[in-house]
Amino acid sequence: MPLSASRLVPLWGYDDPRGRLTSLEEGREVPFTVRRVYLLHDVPEEALRGGHAHKALHQVVLAAAGSFTLRLDDGIQHESFTLATPRLGLYIGPGLWRTLESFSPGTVALVLASAAYDEGDYIRDYADFQRFVGVPVTSDGPPAAPPVAP
């Protein structure tokens, strides 16, 4: 899937003096049937998560609390997205390498997935990923993240 098929998805919300409510619905913000939901939490700030691609899985990822950076790579282009509000999700289709990094303290990432866990759907080696998406194998890993200014 080309990187351009990924997109930020604004989520519906309602605010009143009692707090905020944010909603996600299949067929509206989530363009697939949800078969699995999971959370990433208590992630150390310097930790990297992800580091893989999926052959068929679709996901919507959002920051339920805190913030993190999600880097996507289609084998040719790469783009970074900072997720820092529960009101904005990121749709990720199959065939994209993803890395999650720069977690703020207390971050909770919420992931909605189109299928139950299946180890056979994962591509965990970057050279295998490059072959899967049909680009020349050029390295053993994804492009390095740009340096972060102090």
Task: Render the chain in DSSP notation, one character per residue.
Answer: --GGG-EEEE-EEEEETTEEEEE--BTTTB-S---EEEEEES--TT--EEEEEESS--EEEEEEES-EEEEEE-SS-EEEEEE--TTEEEEE-SS-EEEEE-PPTT-EEEEEESS---GGGEE-SHHHHHHHHT-----SSPPPPPPPP-
Q: Is the pLDDT of residue 90 over 60?
A: yes
Provide the token pair at 135: 């680009």
> What residues does 149 pair with on adjacent strands?
none
Name which of 26, 13, 114, 117 is nearest 64 in CA terms. Answer: 13
pLDDT at site 149: 43
Dist. CA 97–CA 88, nearest whole Å: 20
Which domains, ranges and CATH numbers included, belong to the chain?
Answer: 3-116+123-133 (2.60.120.10)
Q: Which one from 52, 54, 58, 78 is the annotated catalytic residue? A: 52
Q: Is 41 annotated as catalytic?
A: no
Q: Output 38 or 1, whichever has higher pLDDT.
A: 38
Q: Is the pLDDT of residue 128 over 90?
A: yes
pTM: 0.88
